[in-house]
């Protein structure tokens, strides 16, 4: 089983994104103030307003994890995912996430469900230190469908952050021998759920309420564990250590490492023990290694790249902030975008 077979056309994405980008890029010329410092293609776009101020902006949704929430009638955590997916991306350019807005579309308005979603959004905002200042609630029965009549909904967010123009981080100065520090994930986060659901609920025919001893909870509860928010510990790290690159391990798995500006080789050779959620998915679906590492986070939700001499200090700071962090690899040769994870090589074209 692959992501493609589960219904997500990853092979068609580069061409679709290329066409989308070619049409939209010229709109940067419409900026009435400031200038585009970082455009389409990275984790967040950045617009420089003054010599001292730039704003970073990113938008993302929760995806089909929402269907698991519908299965369990549990909606109080997906708001955390919505905030996390956006603030973690804004963080990747060295910005401080600050402002957030959400978009909630429903098949049928249920105030109790909306309130539960709001609780999650508020908790995510608290963890990230952002203010939710507005949003949109849409009732579009003809467009939204869930697992049962009336349950369908979609949840998307947009985050704005602030950064000094001279402190934008995109991995522009990476050098051979720099160290990659991985921060542990909280499980599957919000990526690869289409493949995971297909394997658990269609191939293995498990119920969402199936208790899995390796998880210590039901499969539904495991899949609903909210995406980890890395804002506060990483901001603290940036105050004390020169950080060369920040990478959110999100859709595309470890291939996100290759989104940095400097063409280079990432050698990932010391991963922690892979969490049971991923080994179970791979076993039940007979998913190839390459597919696992390019779909899921495999236990690492965020990566920080620092100079080798700053590695120990980086680990100490992150651990003092309550993070499970370890050195998982290093920067290899400079000049070619290449990813080596354990015993196999992966390559990515950014189009």
Residue position matching structure tokens 């957030």: 100
pLDDT for the residue numbered 351: 37
C-alpha to C-alpha distances, 95 to 77, 92, 168, 212, 338, nearest whole angstrom = 25, 7, 7, 39, 26
Q: Quickly state the pLDDT bin for 346 (edges 50, 70, 90).
A: low
Residue position matching structure tokens 């068609």: 12
Q: Which CATH architecture has domain 31-167?
A: 2-Layer Sandwich (3.30)
Determine if residue 15 is left, alpha or beta; phi over 0 gives left, psi from -120 to 50 gives alpha, anything else beta: alpha
Q: Would the pLDDT of 344 be above 50?
A: yes
Residues of the chain with CATH 3.90.650.10: 179-346
Residues 274-302, mean pLDDT to the nearest whole number: 96
Q: Which residues contact 226 (CB under 8 A, 6 or more apart)?
A: 77, 78, 80, 81, 84, 120, 124, 186
What CATH homologous superfamily does 179-346 map to? PurM-like C-terminal domain (3.90.650.10)
Q: In this structure, are residues 85 and 73 in contact, taking their beta carbons and an 8 Å threshold?
A: no
Both tokens of 135, joined, read 């949003």
Q: In this structure, are residues 148 and 70 in contact, taking their beta carbons and an 8 Å threshold?
A: yes
Residues of the chain with CATH 3.30.1330.10: 31-167
Kindly report, residue by residue over 204-260, the tens digit of the pLDDT: 999 999 999 999 999 999 999 999 999 999 999 999 999 999 999 999 999 999 999
Kindly report, residue by residue over 19-54, the tens digit of the pLDDT: 999 999 999 999 999 999 999 889 999 999 999 999
């Amino acid at each position: 089983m692959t992501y493609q077979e589960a219904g997500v056309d990853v092979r068609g994405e580069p061409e679709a994104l290329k066409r989308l980008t070619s049409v939209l890029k010229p709109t940067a010329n419409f900026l009435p103030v400031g200038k585009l410092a970082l455009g389409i293609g990275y984790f967040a776009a950045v617009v420089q307003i003054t010599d001292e101020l730039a704003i970073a902006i990113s938008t993302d949704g929760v995806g089909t994890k929402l269907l698991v929430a519908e299965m369990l009638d549990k909606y109080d955590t997906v708001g955390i995912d919505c905030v996390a997916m956006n603030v973690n991306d804004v963080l990747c350019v060295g910005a401080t996430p600050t402002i957030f807005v959400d978009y909630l579309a429903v098949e049928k308005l249920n105030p109790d469900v909306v309130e539960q979603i709001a609780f999650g959004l508020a908790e995510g905002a608290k963890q990230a230190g952002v203010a939710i200042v507005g949003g949109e609630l849409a009732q579009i029965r003809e467009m939204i469908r869930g697992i049962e009549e009336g349950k369908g909904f979609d949840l998307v967010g947009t985050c704005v952050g602030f950064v000094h123009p001279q402190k934008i981080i995109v991995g522009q100065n990476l050098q051979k021998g720099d160290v990659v520090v991985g921060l542990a994930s909280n499980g599957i986060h919000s990526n690869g759920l289409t493949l995971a659901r297909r394997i658990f609920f269609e191939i293995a025919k498990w119920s969402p309420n199936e208790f899995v001893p390796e998880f210590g909870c039901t499969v539904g509860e495991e899949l609903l564990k909210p995406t980890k928010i890395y804002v506060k510990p990483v901001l603290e790290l940036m105050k004390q250590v020169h950080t060369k690159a920040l990478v959110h391990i999100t859709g595309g798995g470890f291939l996100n490492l290759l989104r940095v500006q400097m063409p280079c080789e990432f050698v990932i050779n010391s991963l922690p023990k892979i969490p049971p959620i991923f080994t179970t998915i791979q076993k039940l679906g007979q998913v190839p290694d390459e597919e696992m590492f390019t779909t899921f986070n495999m236990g690492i939700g965020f990566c920080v790249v620092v100079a080798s001499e700053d590695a120990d200090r980086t680990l100490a700071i992150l651990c003092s902030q309550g993070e499970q962090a370890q050195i998982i690899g290093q920067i290899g040769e400079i000049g070619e975008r290449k990813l080596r994870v354990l015993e196999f090589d992966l390559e990515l074209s950014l189009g």
